[in-house]
Amino acid sequence: MKTKAGNKKVNKAWLHDHINDPYVKLATREGYRARAAYKLKEIDETLGLIKPGYLVVDLGCTPGAWSQYVRRRLSPTGAAVGALNGTIIGLDLLPMEPIEGVTFIQGDFREADVLTKLEQALQGRKADLVVSDMAPNLSGISSADAARIEHLVELAIEFSQNHMKPQGALVAKVFHGGSYNDVVQHFKAAFDVVKPLKPKASRDRSSETFLVGLGLKKQGA
Q: Which residues are part of the catalytic machinery?
A: 173
Q: What is the chain's Cα-based Rg?
A: 18
Compute φ and ψ for 16, nearest 5 degrees. Answer: -60, -45
Cα–Cα distance measured from residue 60 to residue 108, given in angstroms and rounded to the nearest whole number? 10
Tell me the three state secondary structure of residue 66. helix
CB-based contacts of 196, cutoff 8 Å, min separation 6: 184, 209, 210, 211, 212
70-73: which pairs have CB atoms within 8 A and are 24 or more residues apart?
70/40, 70/131, 71/99, 71/100, 71/101, 71/102, 73/44
In whole angstroms, how far apart are CA 15 and each of 10, 18, 65?
A: 9, 5, 20
Q: Name the strand (E) or helix (H) holding 40.
A: helix 37-47
Count Cβ atoms within 10 A of the Cβ of residue 208 and give its class: 0-12 exposed, 13-18 middle, 19 or more buried. middle
